[in-house]
Amino acid sequence: MPLEFKIKLMQTKVRKGKIEINSERCKGCKYCILTCPKSCIELSSNFNSSGYFPAYFANPQNCIGCAMCAVVCPDLAIDVYVEE
Ligand code: SF4
Ligand code: SF4
């Protein structure tokens, strides 16, 4: 690998992401949990008002803002924010 390319790779910033999960919309299907490549999401042990265990943002430090979780959520319960 050329040295210049190696240096560029080392300088590449890791994209930081953040999600917000609307726990009242969530039905606990786990699609987001199974899809997240960074294991950011887990199921809560507390019910929401509909009686589901909703997903929550358990490991925010890992999030890269890829939005895969929001894409697969059938209830549109996830908003994604990205810091470039
Ligand atoms: S945006 Fe990507 S990395 Fe962040 S929680 Fe969703 S699937 Fe995981
Ligand atoms: S995909 Fe949506 S509805 Fe399913 S657990 Fe995740 S946030 Fe909840």
Nearest-angstrom CA–CA distance, 34 and 2: 37
**Which tokens is 70 given?**
């929001």
Q: Tell whether 63 is covered by a domain.
A: yes
Q: Which atom of ligand 2 lies closest to the CA of 69? A: 1
- Residue 47, domain CATH: 3.30.70.20
**Model's pTM, two decimal places?**
0.86
Number of domains composing the chain: 1
Spatial CA neighbour of 31 closest among 12, 65, 55: 55
- At 33-79, the pLDDT tens digits run 999 999 999 999 999 999 999 999 999 999 999 999 999 999 999 99
Domain of residue 45: give its range: 15-83
Q: Radius of gyration of the chain from Cα atoms? A: 16
**Which tokens is 71 given?**
């894409």
Q: Tell whether 54 is covered by a domain.
A: yes
CB-CB contact of 63 with 38 (8 Å): yes
Does pLDDT of 8 surpass 80?
A: no
Q: Tell whether 3 is covered by a domain.
A: no
The rounded Å distance from CA 49 to ligand 1 centre is 25
